[in-house]
Amino acid sequence: MVVVPVISSKGGVGKTTVTANLCTALAQRGRQVLAIDLDPQNALRFHIASEPQACDTGLVEAATGLMPWARAIRAAHGGVMLLPFGDVDDERQIAFEQQLARNPHWLGETLARFGLPQDMLVVLDTPPGPSVYLQQALRAASFSVVAVLADAGSFATLPIVERMLDKYTRPRADYIGTGYVVNQVDPGKRLNHDVFEVLRKQLRPDLLGVLHLDQAVPEALASAVPVQRYAPMSQATQDIASCADRLLERIAAGPQLHQQHPLSSPRSMEQTR
């Protein structure tokens, strides 16, 4: 079992989009994929679930013994299996978060009990920034995908996730590594282009790929299907395909020697040029 959380320090940078579309691209490449929504927004279902409305129960019900795990996991597009977070009220969400805080390794231990095939990919959508969900995801992580926008705000907050990665993943000998997806790249916009160039220099060789700004992405979401299905010839579909290929290469290469990342300490764009 290979656990791949998709994370970011800032909200709205495309984690759920990247999670959903990577899952379908990985399944298309013949891999068994379980997508888990670790975000109380419970939004992953709108990208890939075959029946999004039926995903009102899931992880929280199963974790609290109200539903068998096998019923909580649903079929999703492209042969992906989906464990939704579930629609949970504030009190149950807080109680679940307290349960996670009491047992820091709950997610890893629970997944281990599933007895999943060794090469199965478990891809986790997470909420933005530090949270008990991110702690659980990183403690269980084999390889992390960081979503980032090519803008100064996204760049400035990268050290927040880098410090979490340094703390929870990089000290582990079995941790494979980290890959970055720069989202909403728009070569027509000068500042976006400049920030992307800085990121490209900083992140190389850990850059998994880019996802261009593409109207097919929000249109696919509005149609509740993955981009590959909505617009198979689109730029976004090609971008996700190359990110999936690179991710599989990195996983196949296995754990590398991890050093503290240069972006774990805050710098301005100017200092890194």
Ligand X SMILES: Nc1ncnc2c1ncn2[C@@H]1O[C@H](COP(=O)(O)OP(=O)(O)OP(=O)(O)O)[C@@H](O)[C@H]1O
Burial 17-33, CB ≥16 within 10 A → b, else e: bbbbbbbbbbbbeebbb
Nearer to Mg ion, 13 or 33 (CB): 13
29 φ, ψ (degrees, to nearest 5): -90, 15
Which of positions 53-92 make contact with Mg ion (CB under 5 A)? none
Residue 241 neighbours by CB under 8 Å, 6+ apart: 25, 228
Q: Residue 84's binding partner, choosing from ligand X, Mg ion, none, with beta-carbon cut-off 5 to 8 A by kind? A: none
The answer to whether residue 15 forms part of the interface with Mg ion (CB under 5 A) is yes
Contact call for residue 151 and ligand X (CB under 6 A): no
Positions 110 through 149 that interact with ligand X (CB under 6 A): 128
Give CA–CA dist 155/118, Å, rounded: 35
CB neighbour class for 178 (10 Å; exposed up to 12, middle 13-18, buried from 19): buried
Does the footprint of ligand X cover residue 217 (CB under 6 A)? yes
Instruction: For residue 114, count other CB atoms closer than 10 A to its CB.
Output: 14
Contact region for ligand X (CB under 6 A) — 79-87, 94-102, 196-204, 210-218? 210-218
Residue 21 near ligand X by CB under 6 A: no
Instruction: Give the nearer residue to Mg ion in terms of CB position, either 15 or 45.
Output: 15
Q: Using CB under 5 A as the criterion, which residues of the chain lie in contact with Mg ion when the complex forms?
A: 15-16
Q: Using CB under 6 A as the criterion, which residues of the chain lie in contact with ligand X when the complex forms?
A: 8, 11-17, 39, 41, 128, 183-184, 211, 213-214, 217-218, 221, 236
